[in-house]
């Protein structure tokens, strides 16, 4: 009986530990995270004095309950050198110089029936005297009280809206860094970042650009990778996700040395998923040459060119090289001993014979 109680107690403790580390599950449509399907990004080009009318489609994935949403336009900036936007959700947040809030019009609330879809009107109107450049904000979807009480925000309930106003703009991208890059997805023991000499095979080549202009930029171009004894390999798309460097942002773009593309089924449509996979790299010295372009329509196309080198030296190669070096050193030392023995040994024998002959004559 005591043994049974001990086993039961141990099982309970294990179950409690497992439950404590499991992620919290969504509780239904009320939190707005499990029932909402929206377009993550909208992009427009609007001339000064013109207005574009569009529709924003929202789908309720919950088959049992209607979904009531509050819609709010907020500004956003960057949180790091990646692509994660930092939403400025405070009610008293200052308006940014790139804000779309004065130009974007849409309803404040919308109700979607169970398993239903609703299109709401959205318009982007640009004043006549508005200068050229890039402007962007985010539409945040929330559930709860419209008067500001107990509102739940969904992490995926955001649509980013970008608008380009054509004309003469200030474009300036500065290259801050370029080279081989380890991704965080390569494993827990791999530190993400640039590498010059690495024992871990890099999955990507990266470049970091600082945007000092007044427009968002999406660079295009190629990277040529060459082994010290191999043929050049061209990475055709240095920005496969069409990522943007926001105004004032220093952004790191990564290009997979070997890119894997998969088609994913989402609802009734399909989309492409891209990820970096393990490339075929031999140990040794590599050179990487960057050739990227950027520029808005009606403005000069700018080019950025850079060449760097890095070493890929896996541990098995380093150990093998050290062992081989020791073996070669021992063989050379042995050969030197044998040669010296034959050369100096013969001279020593001749000296002894000459000494004995002189002794006899005496």
pTM above 0.75, yes or no: no
* pLDDT string in tens for the chain (362-residue length): 444 334 333 333 333 332 233 333 332 333 334 578 888 899 999 999 999 999 999 998 888 889 889 999 999 998 888 878 889 988 889 999 999 999 999 999 999 999 999 999 999 999 999 989 999 999 999 886 444 443 444 435 899 999 999 988 899 999 999 999 999 888 777 888 999 999 999 999 999 999 999 999 999 999 999 999 988 999 998 998 889 999 999 999 999 999 887 766 555 556 666 788 899 999 999 999 999 999 887 678 899 999 999 999 999 999 999 999 999 999 999 988 888 878 776 555 555 555 455 555 55
- Say if CB 137 and CB 99 are below 8 A apart: yes
State both tokens at 243. Answer: 């990522």
Length of the chain: 362
- List of residues 6+ apart from 184 with CB closer than 8 A: 190, 192
Distance CA 338, CA 344 (A): 10
Distance CA 76, CA 214 (A): 15
Could you tell me the domains of the chain?
25-165 (2.60.40.10), 173-316 (2.60.40)
**DSSP code string of 72-125:** EEE-EEESSSSS-EEE---TTPPPPTT--TTTEE--SEEEE-TT-EEEEEEEEE
Distance CA 29, CA 337 (A): 84
SS3 label, residue 221: strand
Which position has the token pair 């377009």?
39
């Amino acid at each position: 009986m005591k043994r049974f109680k001990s086993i039961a107690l141990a099982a309970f403790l294990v179950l409690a530990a497992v439950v404590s580390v499991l992620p919290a599950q969504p509780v239904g449509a009320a939190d707005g995270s499990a029932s909402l399907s929206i377009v993550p990004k909208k992009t427009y080009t609007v001339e000064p004095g013109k207005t574009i009318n569009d529709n924003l489609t929202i789908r309720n994935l919950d088959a049992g309950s209607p979904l009531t949403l509050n819609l709010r336009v907020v500004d956003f900036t960057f949180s790091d050198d990646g692509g994660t936007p930092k939403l400025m959700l405070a009610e008293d947040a200052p308006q940014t110089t790139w804000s779309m809030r004065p130009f974007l019009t849409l309803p404040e609330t919308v109700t979607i029936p169970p398993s239903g879809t609703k299109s709401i009107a959205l318009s982007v109107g640009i004043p006549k005297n508005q200068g050229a450049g890039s402007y962007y904000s985010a539409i945040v979807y929330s559930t709860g009280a419209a008067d500001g009480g107990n509102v739940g925000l969904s992490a995926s309930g955001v649509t980013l809206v970008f608008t380009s106003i054509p004309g003469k703009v200030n474009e300036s991208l500065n290259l801050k860094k370029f080279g081989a890059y380890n991704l965080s997805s390569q494993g827990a023991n791999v530190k993400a970042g640039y590498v010059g000499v690495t024992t871990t095979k890099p999955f990507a080549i990266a470049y970091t650009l600082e945007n000092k202009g007044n427009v968002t930029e999406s660079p295009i171009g190629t990277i040529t990778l060459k082994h010290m004894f191999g043929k050049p390999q061209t990475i055709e798309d240095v920005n496969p996700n069409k990522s943007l460097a926001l105004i004032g942002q220093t952004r790191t773009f990564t290009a997979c040395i070997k890119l894997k593309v998969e088609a994913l089924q989402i609802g009734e449509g399909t989309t492409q998923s891209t990820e970096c996979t393990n490339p075929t790299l031999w140990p040794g010295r590599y050179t990487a040459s960057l050739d990227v372009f950027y520029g808005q329509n009606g403005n000069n196309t700018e080019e950025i060119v850079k060449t760097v080198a890095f070493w890929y030296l896996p541990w098995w190669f380093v150990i093998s090289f050290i062992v081989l070096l020791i073996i070669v050193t021992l063989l050379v030392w042995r050969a030197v001993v044998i040669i010296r023995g034959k050369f100096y040994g013969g001279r020593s024998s001749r000296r002894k014979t000459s000494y004995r002959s002189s002794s006899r004559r005496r």
